[in-house]
Chains A and B, each alone.
Chain A
Amino acid sequence: MYSLYKEFKNERVLLAYFGVFSNRITRMLVELSESYLLKEKHLKKGISKRASFLLIESFQNIIKHGLIEKDPISDLQYNKDFFQIKIMKDRIVFSSANVLLDREVAELQDKIIHINSLDRSELREFRNEILANSELSEKGGAGIGLIEMVRKTGLPLLHKIVQLKIGYSLLFLSLELPTSEALSEHKVDIDQIEGVYKKLVEDDILILYKGDFSDSSNNKLIGMLENNFLKNGKMESDKVKNIVMIIELMQNISKHGKTIDGRKEGLFVLYIKNEDLFIECNNFINIDEYESLKERLKNIKSFSKEELGVKYREKLRNSYLSDAGAGGLGLYEIARFSNNTFTYNFVETKDNEIYYSIKVKTV
């Protein structure tokens, strides 16, 4: 996953989700994205408000044309709806992809081309005209959302439509909100968004988060995953084990990850491989912790189930004596919960940094 990290190196925060956008998932993604926006203290109030507005509009656009009613495309490879928020130093980028029926494509494309051809005052006039005259379309709205996206960002709508098969296309839409100086043109390349989408779909990624793991940054994300794993609120052992493993992995970054520019940078990915669901966490570690962590992981991996139990209980008993006595208990818990099938890797980067990744198959 180091290549993936390098791909998103410049993003302060990146959250990408692939799948169906039910009301529940959408609500959680909005809350999660808003929590990341709130953490960006340098954003002026006006920018934050515009960012929240664009966030909601991006989701509404996916929901309006969303996948739920388009089951026949399950045989296609690129059939997942997608939302991504990227917070960068000078801008926030909202990108989405959603599957459209052919009958929706022409109408939407005409609308986008027309809106992109209007200047500021024409846009306002067009919006007022729609509000005064037109009835809301069957799917809600009548292009008002698209007009507002252009008005709030000051940039035309960046889009691309790719036909998947006869009857179905994929719409990529990207909004770029400058946070310091206005942009005269998009910095985002829609072909690049399409490339990233395809790569992540090919890797069967469901959720990807890259950003700061310090303090309570993870709690919203954990809450969202918890909601997904424990949908009915019932405590089932295996599902609870998965949640606890996610918590341990994320808190491990916040505790032991290397601090770079005041942040504990890390990457969290939930993905499917050969029909199994995997959790992967990646982060940089301090070089002086490298050998001891490697040794500890090697040791844990060498233990049988019984040995793991004995060692765990020993550490638990020691925790009565001191904080240090139970150090590394989280790794033992991960090993026990995953039946010791977790894997790990270290990459020594060109800048002499150590990039650590740990992968766990859910149970």
Chain B
Amino acid sequence: MDNLIIEACPTTPEVKFEADNGIFYISGKSYPENVHDFYDPLFDYLKQYIKNPQPTTEFAFRWQYYNSATSQIIVRLIMMLEESCSNFVVKWYCSEDFELMSEKGFELKETLEINLDIIDD
């Protein structure tokens, strides 16, 4: 599969999906008016990937902030891989000082009961 690379825009994040390495990365801000317009192609890409996933899969996030509609998308992205990939880990990069984002990561880990590492950036 080709990589999926999307540059950051004022309301949408940077995306780097590398199916061949099993590494998926999203970083920046996300508050598009319509989350589906932006995220549907990402779901399509992941749907393809989970047909034949790598032995290990990593989803890395480095957020500045996001809206509530994006919160739901994050849950769905994570759960899509969680249910279909063995050895799946979420890496949640944020500075230790950025309490809000650390809490968001912790909350996701608890809510979804997933393997999520909060990594000081």
- A contact set with B: CB distance below 8 Å: 215-216, 219, 222-223, 235-237, 240-241, 243-244, 247-248, 251, 254, 313, 316-317, 319-320, 323, 326, 329-330, 332-333
Q: Is the CB of A316 within 8 A of B75?
A: yes
Q: Is the CB of A329 within 8 A of B33?
A: no
Which chain A residues border B107 with CB–CB below 8 Å? 313, 316
A-B pairs under 8 A by CB, number: 73
In the complex, whether B119 has a CB less than 8 A from a CB of chain A is: no
In the complex, whether B52 has a CB less than 8 A from a CB of chain A is: no
Within the assembled complex, what's the spacing in Å between the Cα atoms of A329 and B68?
A: 6
Q: Is the CB of A319 within 8 A of B72?
A: yes
| A218 nearest CB neighbor, chain B only | B33
Residues 86-121 of B contacting A (Cβ, < 8 Å): 95, 97-101, 107-108, 110-112
| B36 nearest CB neighbor, chain A only | A323
Given A313-B110, A319-B76: A237 in contact with B31 (beta carbons within 8 A) = no
In the complex, whether B71 has a CB less than 8 A from a CB of chain A is: yes
Q: What are 28 A-B pairs with beta-carbon distances under 8 A?
A: A215-B33, A216-B11, A216-B33, A219-B33, A223-B10, A235-B64, A236-B97, A237-B101, A240-B64, A240-B65, A241-B100, A248-B67, A248-B68, A251-B31, A251-B33, A251-B69, A254-B33, A313-B111, A316-B107, A316-B111, A320-B75, A320-B76, A320-B79, A320-B112, A326-B68, A326-B71, A326-B72, A329-B69
| B83 nearest CB neighbor, chain A only | A320
Which chain A residues border B66 with CB–CB below 8 Å? 244
Given A317-B111, A320-B75: A330 in contact with B10 (beta carbons within 8 A) = no
Q: Is the CB of A329 within 8 A of B71?
A: yes
- Not counting A240-B65, A330-B68, a sample of 18 additional A-B residue pairs whose C-beta atoms are within 8 angstroms of each other reads A216-B11, A219-B33, A222-B11, A235-B95, A243-B65, A244-B67, A247-B31, A251-B31, A254-B33, A313-B107, A313-B111, A316-B75, A320-B75, A320-B79, A323-B72, A326-B71, A329-B69, A333-B68
Within the assembled complex, what's the spacing in Å between the Cα atoms of A319 and B69?
A: 9
Most buried by B among A254, A316, A317, A330: A316
A343 CB to closest chain B CB (Å) equals: 20
Which chain A residues border B108 with CB–CB below 8 Å? 316
Within the assembled complex, what's the spacing in Å between the Cα atoms of A320 and B75?
A: 6
B41-69 Cβ-contact flags toward A at 8 Å (1 or 0): 00000000000000000000000111111
Q: Is the CB of A319 within 8 A of B71?
A: yes
Closest 5 CB pairs of A and B: A319-B72, A237-B100, A329-B68, A330-B68, A313-B111
